[in-house]
Amino acid sequence: MSSLAYIDSYNEGHPLHESLMELYKRIPQLWLDSETGEQITAYLFPPATVNIGEPMADGTFMGIDGSAHSLAECKGKYILVDIWSAGCYPCVMSIPELKEVSETYSDKLKVVSISIDEEKAWKKALATHGLTDTTNNWRDPEGMHGLKLKYGGNGIPLYILISPDGTVLDKKTGYGNGSLKTMLNEYLNMQESGN
């Protein structure tokens, strides 16, 4: 049911939607309170999608040391949110460019990478890619039905550019070599020139 609910969440008017809703009503509350039950609930009753021009969506994310974090702590600078997974080849391919733009724009931009992986897979990926000393590499304990769902991303990597005051400026899904530099160069240079 979780897989069908996931597919339903991305396909308005899915032919099984009514059947899924009827089946959902029969699920005991104890089961709905489980991790899988919470996923199904999030897929069938997704949060409102945050669009460009609206205030950012946030959450509580886990740092590698177990500390809790939120995007709100990065306000005051532009925030580039990178929602990724270790099993996503384009996500992994973007790591060098994410590091580069983080250094290039360090005076006005915070890059925050948020993994949707389970804790064990996330920590292994951080070690594999030399990201264990990165302070802005967090994990969303809600996985696929957390922040990613709030931004309506149909895939990963999902990039969200947020203004210093917390307004969503841009959202892009997918990665190609140089695409992050292009997005940030064009957008940040446009903002600086007053356009």
> Which own/partner contact pairs does 59-66 have at CB distance under 8 Å and 24+ positions apart?
59/140, 59/142, 59/146, 59/147, 59/150, 60/141, 61/114, 61/138, 61/139, 61/140, 61/141, 61/147, 62/119, 62/138, 62/139, 62/140, 62/141, 63/135, 63/137, 63/138, 64/123, 64/126, 64/132, 64/137
Whole-angstrom distance, CA of residue 191 vs CA of residue 195: 6
pLDDT digits (tens, 9 = 90+) for 136-162: 899 999 888 889 989 986 789 999 999
Per-residue pLDDT band for 11 (boundaries 50, 70, 90) equals confident
Stretch among 4-8, 99-103, 121-125, 179-183 having the lowest mean pLDDT: 4-8
Per DSSP, what are the bridge partners of residue 62? 68, 139
Residue pair 128/121 in contact by the 8 Å Cβ criterion: no
Which residues have CB under 8 Å from 194's CB, separation 6+? none
From the CB of residue 56, how many other CB atoms can be counted at a distance below 10 Å?
Answer: 22
Confidence grade of residue 82 (pLDDT, cut at 50, 70, 90): very high
Give the domains, in start order, of the chain with CATH numbers. Answer: 2-44 (no CATH), 61-192 (3.40.30.10)
Check residue 5 and give its pLDDT: 83
Share above pLDDT 90 across residues of the chain, in percent, rounded to a whole number: 55
**Separation in Å, CA 154 to CA 88, 129, 171, 173, 188:** 14, 25, 11, 7, 25
Which of 2-11, 115-124, 161-170, 177-186 has the least mean pLDDT?
2-11
In the predicted structure, residue 125 carries a pLDDT above the cut 70: yes
In three-state secondary structure terms, 134 is coil
pLDDT in tens, 165-176: 999 999 999 999
Residue 131's pLDDT band (boundaries 50, 70, 90)?
A: confident
Pairing of strands 137-139, 158-162: unpaired
pLDDT above 50 for 103: yes
Q: Is the pLDDT of residue 118 over 90?
A: yes
- Position 133 scores a pLDDT of 66
- Measured between alpha carbons, how far is 42 from 36 in angstroms, rounded to an integer? 10
| Amino acid 194: pLDDT | 47
